[in-house]
Chain A
Amino acid sequence: QKEVEQNSGPLSVPEGAIASLNCTYSDRVSQSFFWYRQYSGKSPELIMSIYSNGDKEDGRFTAQLNKASQYVSLLIRDSQPSDSATYLCAVNMVPPGGKLIFGQGTELSVKP
């Protein structure tokens, strides 16, 4: 089993819709979870971090974490064409500050 798994997509949503991205991880003791956005040919940029169970909202983005299910998700409300990118889920392996392991990424396409 891969340490961090995502649906590779592509995920296509119309402009203005909600995009839902999902991620599962295998290490039960992982403590820090991140969502990055990566445009083609560029390095990843941090969108959200989440450390405790529940929801965390930042603008149009909401991260959800369920440690019991080892599941983390990202919702993008009012999707815009500029949101079209690959979204990478990343998990910080214990101890904190240790290596960050990435899922394979989900390609999101927002159609005007």
Chain B
Amino acid sequence: GAVVSQHPSRVICKSGTSVKIECRSLDFQATTMFWYRQFPKKSLMLMATSNEGSKATYEQGVEKDKFLINHASLTLSTLTVTSAHPEDSSFYICSAQWGQNYGYTFGSGTRLTVV
């Protein structure tokens, strides 16, 4: 089956620093990837749609200058949280669809803690 690898699984950073999260499709090409964030006991909130070779599409209310998305190849998308603050602490998950009628497969998630 399709596998999406996400790294790091856990990161703690100081307030004001930037953090990069990587998402790789291991056995398929993903022209589109999706980035979600999830707060404790809440559902997944779509942040943006990452398109290979073009600019990401951000959901309403998501700051594109704060959450930088780069999708430079068919197998790699990155999310950079810039100038992180404690309120950015969350569980970030990437996802990709691996076929027209298949489900979306998810990365293992990144637990970000900003101190």
Contacts and interface: CB of A to CB of B under 8 A. Distances in A.
Interface of A: 32, 34, 41-46, 49, 51, 88, 90, 96-105
Given A32-B101, A99-B49, 15 more contacts: A41-B111, A42-B109, A43-B6, A43-B108, A43-B109, A46-B105, A49-B101, A90-B104, A96-B100, A96-B101, A99-B34, A100-B34, A102-B36, A102-B44, A103-B43
Nearest to A35: B103
Given A88-B44, A97-B97, A104-B42, A46 B103 contact: yes
Classify the interface of chain A: helix, strand, loop or mixed: loop
Contact of A104 (B43, B46, B49, B107): B43
Identify the interface centre among B34, B43, B101: most chain A CB within 10 Å of its CB.
Answer: B43
Interface of B: 6, 32, 34, 36, 42-44, 46, 49, 91, 93, 95, 97, 100-109, 111
